[in-house]
């Protein structure tokens, strides 16, 4: 059987690329330079399978340039808001993602941000490196402990639930807002309180963790008005997608003392970060590390390959989203 032409837009882990080359006619991106629109259009004009990542914008214009042979966009990542899945479906092109394999990695980064913010770890590290540490004293760099603190989770899917389990182990009290309630047994196990009204929940939380997908409905979910509902002593964590927060509004809220701090792993105009968020002692910024474990990235690759294998075999795609 002829191997399908698979074009990969970015460099992937070595083991994943080795499997792709072994099983398919794979064209890899050894230089790891993001494709511009012209290069992407040339790729979809010849590929039978495109493997993009979160850095690639596969909009309707790219889909329109696809040749009739393109039948699968196997996304390397769980979020697919960078792909116009409806336009792809209209052209008979399936879109798949990689759910389930980066849950732990993403939740770990969420906890990293919570701990770094509340215990002022990054602030302390920078101060020490600048020669500002002159010895321990009883009032030195105090911050809030986590035990007993209410945590509000926005989006109680796999990652939100993993965040809840980790936070509960630290003694936090779990609250959540979701489109619908989770199963009763999960609520009992986590001792979690469901809030159907996000605006009612926010003023009661000490820490808010965003774990919801990026959709037209969640864009700027955290607007200036919604940020104003949070406690002045509360912290906002985002490991989901950057456009869920209005970054300009967040910067203004922090400048005005309306929040105690923010921890971000994703950004509204990534890789650009709002300049007023950079260099603040009450903000911890990470360079999109949510899935950056060996296990998660290899698992994502395995999911991509499984979807391409199903495509070749003519069987149901295990992770189709459109």
Task: Encode pLDDT of 12-54 as tens digits.
Answer: 999 999 999 999 999 999 999 999 999 999 999 999 999 999 9
- Examine the residue annotation and report whether 175 is marked as an active-site residue of this protein: no
Which one of 17, 187, 204, 270 is the catalytic residue? 270
Task: Read off the pTM.
Answer: 0.93
- Examine the residue annotation and report whether 270 is marked as an active-site residue of this protein: yes
Count of beta carbons in the 10 Å neighbourhood of residue 92: 10
User: In the structure, what pLDDT confidence band is assigned to residue 145 with cuts at 50, 70 and 90?
Assistant: very high
- Considering only CA atoms, which of 99, 254, 168 is closest in space to residue 176? 168
> Cis omega (within 30 of 0) on the bond before 271?
yes
Residue 1 has pLDDT above 80, yes or no: no
Which one of 241, 247, 268, 274 is the catalytic residue? 241
Q: Is 53 exposed, middle or buried (0-12, 13-18, 19+ CB in 10 A)?
A: middle
Q: Do 19 and 301 touch, CB atoms closer than 8 A?
A: yes
**5-101+294-313 matches 103-285 in fold:** yes
Per DSSP bridges, beta strands 49-51 and 5-8 are parallel
For the stretch 248-289, pLDDT in tens is 999 999 999 999 999 999 999 999 999 999 999 999 999 999
Which one of 165, 219, 229, 288 is the catalytic residue? 288
Give the position of tokens 């009450």.
Answer: 282
Q: What is the pLDDT of residue 69?
A: 98
Topology of domain 5-101+294-313, CATH: Rossmann fold (3.40.50)
Number of H helices, E strands in the chain: 12, 12
Specify the CATH class of 103-285 in words.
alpha beta
* CA–CA dist 58, 93 (Å, integer): 12
- Examine the residue annotation and report whether 288 is marked as an active-site residue of this protein: yes
* CA–CA dist 301, 120 (Å, integer): 35
Spans of all domains in the chain? 5-101+294-313, 103-285
Q: For residue 90, what is the enclosing H or E element?
A: helix 85-90
3-state SS assignment for residue 194: strand
């Amino acid at each position: 059987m002829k191997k399908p032409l698979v074009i990969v837009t970015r460099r992937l882990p070595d083991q994943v690329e080795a499997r792709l080359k072994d099983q398919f006619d794979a064209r890899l991106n050894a230089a790891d330079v993001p494709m511009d629109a012209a290069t992407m259009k040339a790729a979809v004009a010849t590929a039978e399978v495109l493997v993009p990542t979160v850095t690639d914008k596969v909009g309707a214009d790219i889909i329109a340039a696809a040749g009739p042979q393109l039948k699968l966009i196997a996304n390397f990542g769980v979020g697919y808001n960078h792909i116009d899945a409806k336009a792809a479906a209209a052209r008979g092109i399936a879109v798949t993602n990689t759910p389930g394999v980066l849950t732990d990695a993403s939740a770990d980064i969420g906890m990293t941000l919570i701990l770094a913010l509340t215990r002022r770890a990054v602030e302390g590290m920078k101060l020490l490196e600048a020669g500002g540490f002159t010895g321990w004293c009883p009032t030195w760099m105090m911050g809030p402990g986590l035990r007993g603190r209410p945590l509000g989770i926005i989006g109680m899917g796999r990652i939100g639930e993993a965040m809840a389990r980790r936070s509960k182990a630290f003694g936090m009290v779990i609250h959540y807002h979701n489109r619908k309630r989770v199963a009763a047994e999960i609520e009992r196990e986590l001792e979690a309180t469901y809030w159907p009204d996000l605006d009612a929940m926010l003023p009661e939380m000490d820490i808010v963790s965003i774990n919801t997908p990026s959709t037209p409905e969640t864009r700027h979910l955290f607007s200036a008005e919604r940020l104003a509902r949070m406690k002045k002593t509360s912290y906002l964590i985002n490991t989901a997608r950057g456009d869920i927060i209005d970054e300009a509004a967040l910067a203004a809220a922090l400048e005005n003392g309306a929040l105690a701090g923010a921890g971000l792993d994703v950004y509204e105009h990534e890789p650009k970060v709002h300049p007023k968020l950079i260099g603040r002692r009450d903000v911890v910024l990470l360079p999109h590390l949510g899935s950056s474990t060996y296990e998660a990235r290899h698992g994502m690759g395995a999911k991509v390959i499984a979807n391409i294998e199903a495509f070749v075999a003519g069987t149901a795609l295990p992770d189709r989203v459109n």
